[in-house]
Amino acid sequence: MERYGYVINGGTPLKGEVVISGAKNAAVAMIPAALLVDGVCRIENMPHISDTDMLLTIVSELGAKVRFVNRSTVDIDCTHVSFRDTPFDLMRKIRASYYLIGAMLGRFGVSKTTMPGGCNFGERPIDQHIKGMEALGADVSIQHGFVYASARDGKMHGSKVYLDKVSVGATINIILAAVLASGRTIIENAAREPHIVDLANFLNSMGADVRGAGTDTIKIYGVEKLHGGTYAVIPDQIEAGTYMVAAAATGGEVLIKNVIPKHLECISDKLRETGTIVQKYEDAVLVKGASNLHKTNVKTMPYPGFPTDMQPQMAVLLTMASGTSVITEGIYDNRFKYAQELLKMGADIHVEGKVCIISGVKTLTGAPVMACDLRAGAAMVIAGLCAEGETVIEDVHYIERGYEDFVGKLKRLGADISAVWFPDRDDAPARITIAG
């Protein structure tokens, strides 16, 4: 069977500069949010990744006019959108399709979506999303893999919602359903991630009234309508963190540009604990790898704690740190699938439920491995960059959901990495390099 993947020859320290793209988890909320705007939203610094491409296709099917002004600026005109069936096969592929529930209820008073897809970390329910929609006056049912929702009297009404669990998705979905609702909505125990603040700023620039984003209590005062405008997505905290860890793990020296250092504080501090040097500038961080890495412990928490989306990348770094490190996954039930892939590369790693114990080894060795999900895939790339010999990574489509031009950016930092097609045909070479 033909396959597509990355081929990496490891051992080269990364050197140079890399520019961070727009935040995936902000952009995938803004595209559905554009449905609420009766006019043209110009979104700048839009990352070019498959998740955003899929969401732009979905909103186009609802009647939005989508036009790329340039590679990272897109106009979305939702003046003439209407409720209709949308490409459910695309919705099933990504987690962020659940934002269409809040956006469609807010705009149309009705929504039909599929249960969301996304990376498999064990159970990922949407009960808190449903709790929020019902609190704002919608009837919600899940049948045959679809989520049906409709506002009981055709319009959403502000209400108070206490989230039983800190949930980024539920917090964002309730904001989307509330901005055009009648009256005030209060979200208690809200998530505080940077992309929630970015979405609130985006909506407020279009005439919404969202207050307190970034704290655990968010108030939304419903308005009649939203007008068009221009907004730039914040830099991606996790993409930046991924390059920081790659620089540290390969023993390189990389200036990571177009970042908001405050969003990276937890990652910077954790890297410093391993002996890595991290210098902060206005909108950049410089990372210098240590000659020998020290062990440390990590516990993932909601923002401003250590982000779960940086957990796999940190694990790779710690496989080469002296001593024994412990990682505790505080958000998901099962986010250590990549450990089995690292074992193939000679790592000393052991998982007990939500805890991963890592004893440092001198070096990793290249091997054929899989990308188990988006961030695990990025972690395997980092492992390949550090390992002796060749690593071939398959299922890299996961990685391309969330990292713009990953191969190109790494090559420009000196990495020996190529995107390769394996045609698996007698009349073709074994490997055909696509980008490298």
Catalytic annotation, residues? 119
Q: What is d(CA 88, CA 102) in angstroms, rounded to the nearest whole number?
A: 16
Instruction: Indicate the burial class of 282 (C-beta count within 10 angstroms; 0-12, 13-18, 19 or more).
Output: exposed
339 contributes a contact to ligand EPZ by CB under 6 A: no
Quick one: DSSP state of residue 213? B
Residues 245-304 contacting ligand EPZ, CB under 6 A: none
Residues 6+ apart with CB under 8 A from 89: none
236 contributes a contact to ligand EPZ by CB under 6 A: no
* Residue (316 or 374) nearer to ligand EPZ, CB: 374
> Nearest approach, Cβ of 193 to ligand EPZ (angstroms)?
6
> Nearest approach, Cβ of 147 to ligand EPZ (angstroms)?
12
331 contributes a contact to ligand EPZ by CB under 6 A: yes
Residues 6+ apart with CB under 8 A from 201: 213, 231
Stretch that binds ligand EPZ, among 53-61, 118-126, 223-231, 318-326 (CB under 6 A): 118-126
Residues 6+ apart with CB under 8 A from 200: 175, 208, 210, 213, 214, 218
Q: Report yes or no: 122 and 84 within 8 Å, Cβ to Cβ.
A: no
223 contributes a contact to ligand EPZ by CB under 6 A: no
161 contributes a contact to ligand EPZ by CB under 6 A: no
150 contributes a contact to ligand EPZ by CB under 6 A: no
28 contributes a contact to ligand EPZ by CB under 6 A: yes
Q: Report yes or no: 418 and 42 within 8 Å, Cβ to Cβ.
A: no
Q: What is d(CA 160, CA 324) in angstroms, rounded to the nearest whole number?
A: 46
159 contributes a contact to ligand EPZ by CB under 6 A: no
Residues 6+ apart with CB under 8 A from 26: 194, 195, 198, 199, 202, 233, 234
> Nearest approach, Cβ of 191 to ligand EPZ (angstroms)?
6
Exactly one of 17, 67, 80, 127 binds ligand EPZ (CB under 6 A); that residue is 127
Residues 168-197 contacting ligand EPZ, CB under 6 A: 168-170, 191
Exactly one of 30, 33, 76, 96 binds ligand EPZ (CB under 6 A); that residue is 96
* Residue (221 or 332) nearer to ligand EPZ, CB: 332
Residues 49-68 contacting ligand EPZ, CB under 6 A: none
> Nearest approach, Cβ of 125 to ligand EPZ (angstroms)?
4
> Nearest approach, Cβ of 307 to ligand EPZ (angstroms)?
6
Beta bridge partners of 293: none
Handedness of CA 356, 393, 301, 332 (dihedral sign): negative
374 contributes a contact to ligand EPZ by CB under 6 A: yes
Residues that bind ligand EPZ (CB under 6 A): 24-25, 28, 95-96, 119, 124-129, 165, 167-170, 191, 308-309, 331-332, 374-375, 402
